[in-house]
Amino acid sequence: MDERPLASLSPSPVAAPQCESCVGSGEYPTDYGLVDCPDCGGAGYLPTRHTLVEWRMRDIERANDAGLKVTAADVRWLLSEVRQARGALRGVVALSHDLPHDQSIATQLRMTAERALGEVASRPAPRVDEPPA
């Protein structure tokens, strides 16, 4: 079993690259005073790719909800993210076929990835008051 502490799985301010826009201060000067740096969200260091993707998806979602036009660049970016995620899921499916030790884990991995890829019919989640099948 992996004995790594959970803290090592997420970047720390010391390990993460410093934000060049605010030089690590997390502040951004405007005509109305200091605000959180728009590039690092006020943290002073660059967020992980996961965080950047989540921020951009939320920005696009909020813009769309507010009736603003989603740009062609936004759509291209979203399609690129979907393609990358589907490629990763195909890799998971391929790896799960090679897992010789625990077929239940391999089956669960493959079914989860195939369901996300739309390659198997997904079943509705069991109701809370029903026992698992």
Contacts with Zn ion, residue ranges (CB under 5 A): 19, 21-22, 37, 39-40
C-beta closer to Zn ion: residue 37 or 113: 37
User: Least distance from C-beta 33 to Zn ion, angstroms?
Assistant: 16
The encoded tokens of residue 121 equal: 């019919």
User: Least distance from C-beta 32 to Zn ion, angstroms?
Assistant: 18
User: Least distance from C-beta 80 to Zn ion, angstroms?
Assistant: 25
User: Least distance from C-beta 23 to Zn ion, angstroms?
Assistant: 8
Cα separation, 113 vs 106, in Å, equals 11
* DSSP string over 46-114: PPPHHHHHHHHHHHHHHHHHTTPPPPHHHHHHHHHHHHHHHHHHHHHHHHHHT--S-HHHHHHHHHHHH
C-beta closer to Zn ion: residue 21 or 112: 21
C-beta closer to Zn ion: residue 27 or 119: 27
Residue 50 φ then ψ, to 5°: -55, -45
C-beta closer to Zn ion: residue 40 or 109: 40
